[in-house]
Amino acid sequence: MRTNKMALCGLFTALLCICAWLAIPLGDVAVTMQTFGIFLCLMLLGGKYGSLSIFLYLLMGAVGLPVFARFQGGLGILLGPTGGYIWGFGVAALLYWCIGKAVGKLPALILGLVLCYTLGSLWYLLYAGGGLWAVLLRCVVPFVVPDAVKLILAFTLYRQLKKHL
């Protein structure tokens, strides 16, 4: 791996940590800037290096560093009710890596976000119960518009930054 790619992976891993800390709590799930960081990371670094940054972020959280929303970390968070959404970031990154060039950046990110919502909601449903509609109303519906705005912002920033990387 070239030095500049290693440095960018580290920088974007740090950005993901900071984005997670920028949060507005809404019950069990918070509106954070994590999805913005994921979107920007994947668009600027591409599938391979973006996925590496995201998995480094997940690994840091898994070993207990407070990199997740509300300055939390550890396997308890990844295995807790909202852990599926966090794991969904990694799965979305792998999806982006696999299909990003074939379908385009924005469609791949949207599909990844849908996959993240799906995995997270199923995990939440298995963990907390309450019925699928209740989970969707609690854990997906409030986040669709904010995530769409974050996707637009990330894409706008990507278009400005891509020529400098």
Going along the chain from its start, the domains and CATH numbers come out as: 3-164 (1.10.1760.20)
pLDDT, position 130? 85
Contact of 85 with 29, CB cutoff 8 Å: yes
pTM of this structure: 0.93
pLDDT, position 68? 94
Residue type for 130, please?
G
Contact of 12 with 45, CB cutoff 8 Å: yes
141: which 2 tokens? 């519906």
Are β-strands 23-26 and 29-32 bridged in parallel, bridged antiparallel, or unpaired?
A: antiparallel
Using DSSP's 3-state secondary structure scheme, residue 2 falls into: coil
DSSP 80: S
pLDDT, position 41? 97
Per-residue tens of pLDDT for the chain, all 165 residues: 689 999 999 999 999 999 999 988 876 667 899 999 999 999 999 999 999 999 999 999 999 999 999 899 999 999 999 999 999 999 999 999 999 999 999 999 999 999 999 999 999 999 988 899 999 999 999 999 999 999 999 999 999 999 887
Angle between helices 83-103 and 34-62 (to 10 degrees): 120
